Amino acid sequence: MTTPPHAQEELDLIAQTVDRVSTADAAVLAELRTEVLGRKAGKLTLILRSLGSLPPEQRRLLGARANQIKQALETAIAERERVLQDDTRRTVDVDGTMPARHAWRGARHPVLAVVDEICEIFKELGFTRVSGPEAETEDYNFTKLNMPLDHPAADEHDTFYLGPGALLRTHTSPVQARVMEQYQPPIRIVVPGRVYRRDAFDPSHSPVFEQIEGLAVDEGISFVDFKAGIDYFVKRFFSPDTVVRFRPSFFPFTEPSAEVDVQCQMCKGSGCATCKQTGYLEIMGAGMVHPAVFENCGIDPERYTGYAFGMGPDRITMLRHGIPDIRLLFENDMRFLSQFVS
Ligand code: PHE
């Protein structure tokens, strides 16, 4: 059985045009359509028209192939037309006058920026930055720090308990004990981290907040070194003319203990709402490490002395930027945070 060779070849060529359809633009598509399917002179039309003059067997084979190609081509053209039309519609939808979408830029949270800055200042004094666990034991959070569990100071901490003997640390001081157990002096560390207390949210309280613990232990460290270290920090962080005040206080793990105030940055000491008319703002609790703490942690209190402090970077951040409510630091409201993108 033979078919006219030219008709066979012609059909093979036409079959290939189906592949070209999927990438054709509107003009090429129209061309293809006329060239192949045109009613008068389309290549496929002509072949179909000539079928009548062929012997029945050839007509059947060739006709089937030709019709198959015709259908494939028509489907492909219709599909391509749909895609091209969609594309056109999409182009038309673009509104060139629409303002561009805001490109968000990230930044460090203001409190973490302050934490980094404080740690860098203490680095100048030889302090290493370390961290400790937020889930602690009663032993580290209280007992080793000379704070028996029935001591009122332990009560005041309003602890979140995780289970018997396990809690969320109420301060960063337990890291003092962890470090002293592991290393012999000289020790100089700063420990930033989160602490937890069962306080309700209000403008100056949050159940989770940031602390930075400091600890310096060596032979011959005196109260003068303590005051000088704190004074250096305050003047570096705030300004060289900032007035610092040490007030006697009590912590079970330091003796003597002090609270450190800086002159109010808002009113420069004349009294305002921020400092509640006192002219000063408390920035940390501190003191000379209690000998009992040294003993609990395996450090010889006869040989070594040291000082420790715990400050609140949230408060300090609020002071620096004039932020009136601590809750702003936790809400992650972009209108607030975006003010700290530099
Ligand atoms: N841990 C104390 C607190 O959270 C602060 C402090 C630290 C006081 C170190 C003295 C020495 O209140």
Report which of 265, 276, 270 is spatially closest to residue 317, judged by C-alpha positions. Answer: 265
In the chain, what percentage of residues exceed pLDDT 90? 57
Q: Decide if 211 contacts 311 (C-beta within 8 A).
A: yes
User: How far away, in angstroms, is 292 Cα from ligand 1 center?
Assistant: 16
Q: Decide if 275 contacts 268 (C-beta within 8 A).
A: no
Topology of domain 110-340, CATH: BirA Bifunctional Protein; domain 2 (3.30.930)
- Is the CA virtual torsion 224, 230, 307, 206 positive or negative? positive
Does residue 142 have its Cβ closer than 6 Å to ligand 1?
no
Does residue 319 have its Cβ closer than 6 Å to ligand 1?
no
Q: Decide if 210 contacts 309 (C-beta within 8 A).
A: no
Does residue 254 have its Cβ closer than 6 Å to ligand 1?
yes
Residue whose token pair is 């930033």: 192
User: For residue 210, what pLDDT is reported?
Assistant: 97
| Separation of alpha carbons 41 and 32, rounded Å | 12
Give per-residue pLDDT as tens, 211-241.
999 999 999 999 999 999 999 999 999 999 9
Adjacent-strand bridge partners of 339: none
Q: Domain residues of the chain, as ranges?
A: 5-92, 110-340
| Separation of alpha carbons 214 and 35, rounded Å | 86
Give per-residue pLDDT as tens, 172-207.
999 999 999 999 999 999 999 999 999 899 888 899
The residue that leads in pLDDT, 264 or 125, is: 125
CB atoms within 10 A of CB 237: 17
- Taking 90 as the threshold, does the pLDDT of residue 51 lie above it? no
Average pLDDT over residues 116-129: 97
pTM over 0.75, yes/no: no
Closest ligand 1 atom number to CA of residue 195: 4
Which structure tokens are listed for 286?
Answer: 């501190």
Radius of gyration of the chain (CA): 40
Question: What is each CA distance from 334 to 303, 314, 315, 330, in whole angstroms?
Answer: 52, 18, 20, 11
| Separation of alpha carbons 109 and 101, rounded Å | 23
Q: pLDDT band for position 2 (50/70/90)? A: very low
User: For residue 78, what pLDDT is reported?
Assistant: 87
User: How far away, in angstroms, is 276 Cα from ligand 1 center?
Assistant: 23
Atom 7 of ligand 1: nearest residue by CA position = 310
Average pLDDT over residues 299-310: 98
Residue whose token pair is 């359509």: 33
Does residue 310 have its Cβ closer than 6 Å to ligand 1?
yes
Report which of 293, 291, 261 is spatially closest to residue 279, judged by C-alpha positions. Answer: 261
User: For residue 5, what pLDDT is reported?
Assistant: 63
Three-class DSSP category at 136: strand
Give per-residue pLDDT as tens, 55-71.
888 888 888 888 998 89
Closest ligand 1 atom number to CA of residue 310: 7
User: For residue 17, what pLDDT is reported?
Assistant: 84
Atom 12 of ligand 1: nearest residue by CA position = 285
| Separation of alpha carbons 41 and 34, rounded Å | 8
User: How far away, in angstroms, is 298 Cα from ligand 1 center?
Assistant: 20
Does residue 252 have its Cβ closer than 6 Å to ligand 1?
no
Q: Decide if 130 contacts 179 (C-beta within 8 A).
A: yes
Q: Decide if 187 contacts 218 (C-beta within 8 A).
A: yes
User: For residue 1, what pLDDT is reported?
Assistant: 40
| Separation of alpha carbons 107 and 110, rounded Å | 9
- Taking 80 as the threshold, does the pLDDT of residue 339 lie above it? yes
Average pLDDT over residues 12-20: 85
Closest ligand 1 atom number to CA of residue 214: 9
User: How far away, in angstroms, is 300 Cα from ligand 1 center?
Assistant: 22
